[in-house]
A and B are shown apart, each in its own frame.
Chain A
C-alpha cells in the first residue's frame, strides 16, 4: 500500500520545439490538500492532463494511487477531475449532464441529485447548462468530479468565476473532503487562495519545479521581515543605516523600512532607534506570504 497519491519522476512533455513540462519530480502524500501553483502557462494543466492519461508524456514516469499513468484504467475509477474549467453539453441540463457521466462511469444515479444539492445547484439542476453563470458552471464541474466518491480529487482552477462566498464554500468543501481522507490536488494561479487551504505545495514555473513539499517547510525557509515606520519621514534613512550597521539588509518601501532580520531583532532595533532619537510609529514583524515566497524563489516580480 503506497503512501503517496501522486508520484512523478522525470516527467516531461514536449510540443514540437516547446518544452511545456521539463523533467519534473514530486510526490503528494495521501490525505493532504496539495496546492499546485504557478503562473498561467507554467505547465500545470499539461501536467494534470498527463496524470489523467489524456496526453502522453514525452519522458518520465508517474504513479497515481500506486498505479502507473500508462494505465489510467487502473486508477481513474477512484479519481475525480475537472481540467481546464467545466466542459458540458450546453443543450442538456445540469442534471442530464451529470447523468451522462454517472451512466458512463457506472455510478449510482442517486448521487446526481445529492451532488447537485451539495454544490448548491439543487434548485437549478433542471436548467440547461448554457443558461448557467460561470460560477454555476464551476460548481457543476466540481459535482462531476465528485461523482466517483474519489480517493484523489484533481481540480484545475476550481474557483475561477466564483464570488467570494462561492470561493469560501469551495475551500470549506475541499477541507472537508481532505478530512474525510480524500487527497485533493488543486491548481491555481492565485497563490493566496491556496495558501489558506493547502498542507502541501508544488510550485511550477516555466515547466520546472521550483518547490515541492509541506507548506510549513517552505514558509520556514523564508526570512521574516521587520517593518519599521518612523514618525518623521526624514528618519527612515537613519533606520536603514542602523539596520545595515548591524549587518541586516534594509530598504525603504511605501514610507516604511523593510529589514530582513529575525523577529527577535525588532526589540534591538526599537532600542537603537530610541537611543538615536527616532520615534517609531510602527514596528511589526511580517512573515512573507506564499505569493512573495514564490516571487522570491523564482526571481520574478
Chain B
C-alpha cells in the first residue's frame, strides 16, 4: 500500500500539476477573501450570491476563517478535477495495466491513490487556510473589522473546526471526482460531467425548486464546508453527503475490482 502511495505522489508532485493546482487554489482563496473585506460596505453584498457578511460577523471568533469557509466549495471543485483526472487518465493513457502488473491488488491501488490525493488535498487546504488568515488579518484594519477575538481559544477552536469541515467537504468532492473517473474512464468526460452537474445543473434545478438542495450532493458538500447553512443543517449535510460518497465509492470500487482491463 505504501508503495502505491509513494508512486502516486511521484505523479502528483509534477511541477505543472502541483504548482498549477495549488496556485489556482491560493489565487481564488485570496480573491474571495479580498472581496469580503474590500466590498464590506457594498450594497450588492460581499459574500456568495449577494450575501452580506457584516463587520460584526467578521469580528466574531470565527471571523478569521469566514473567507476560508466561503472558498471551500471552490477548493472542492479543484479536488474533484484532480481526483477525476488522476483516476481517469489511467484508462485514457492505458497506464492502468502497468500499475496492475506491478500491483495486482486493485483495492490497494485504489486506496493508495486515494491516500496520495488526500495528502495532496491536505497540502492545498492547509496553504489556503494560512493565506486566507494572513489576507484577512492584513485587510481587517482597513475594513474596520475587530480582530481581538480571532486568536483567542474560541477563535482557534473556530479555525480548527472550519479546517476540519472544509477538509471533509473537499475530500468528499474529490471522492466524487474519483468515482466519476472510475465510472466514465476518461478525465475529460469525468471533469465535464462533475463540474457541469455541480455548477450548472444542480444550481439551476435548485433555483426552480429550492427544496432540492436538501438532497443534491453538491449542496450537501458545500454546506459541510460552511458548517451548515440557513437551509441545511450540518448534521443533515454530513449524513446525506456521506451517503452519496459512501454508496458511490462502493459501487465504483466493485466495478474497478471486477471489470476487465481491456485498454
Contact = CB atoms under 8 A, between A and B. Distances in A.
B262 A55 contact: yes
A185 interface: no
Interface string A87-104: 111111000100111011
A54 B100 CA distance: 7
A56 B262 CA distance: 10
A101 B97 contact: no
A108 interface: no
B10 interface: yes
A261 interface: no
Interface stretch (A71-79, A164-172, A198-206, A286-294): A71-79
B101 to A, nearest CB: 5
B255 to A, nearest CB: 14
B148 interface: no
A54 B261 contact: yes
A89 B100 contact: no
Contact of B10 (A81, A91, A103): A103
B15 to A, nearest CB: 10
A106 B16 contact: no
Interface string B102-125: 111100000000000000000000
Given A76-B101, A104-B4, A88 B261 contact: no
A224 to B, nearest CB: 43
Interface residues on A, range: 20 to 34
Nearest to A46: B262
B188 to A, nearest CB: 14
B98 A144 contact: yes
A89 B102 contact: no
Contact of A92 (B6, B14, B260, B262): B14
A105 interface: yes
B13 to A, nearest CB: 10
B70 to A, nearest CB: 32
B3 to A, nearest CB: 5
Contacts, number: 78
A101 B105 contact: no
Nearest to A72: B104
Interface string B73-101: 00000000000000001000111011111
Interface in B21-44: none
A252 interface: no
A72 B263 CA distance: 18
Interface in A192-218: none
Contacts of A99: 10
A104 B97 contact: no
Contacts of B102: 76, 101, 104-105, 147-148
A147 B11 CA distance: 18
B7 interface: yes
Given A91-B14, A103-B7, A106-B3, A53 B104 contact: yes
A295 B93 CA distance: 35
B113 to A, nearest CB: 11
Report which residue of B6, B98, B100 has the largest number of chain A beta carbons within 10 angstroms of its beta carbon. Answer: B98
Contacts of A55: 260-262
Contacts of A244: none
Interface in A20-79: 49, 52-56, 72-73, 76, 79
A266 interface: no
9 contacts: A49-B97, A54-B261, A55-B262, A73-B105, A87-B95, A89-B93, A99-B10, A101-B7, A104-B7
Interface of B: 3-4, 6-7, 10-11, 14, 16-17, 89, 93-95, 97-105, 260-263
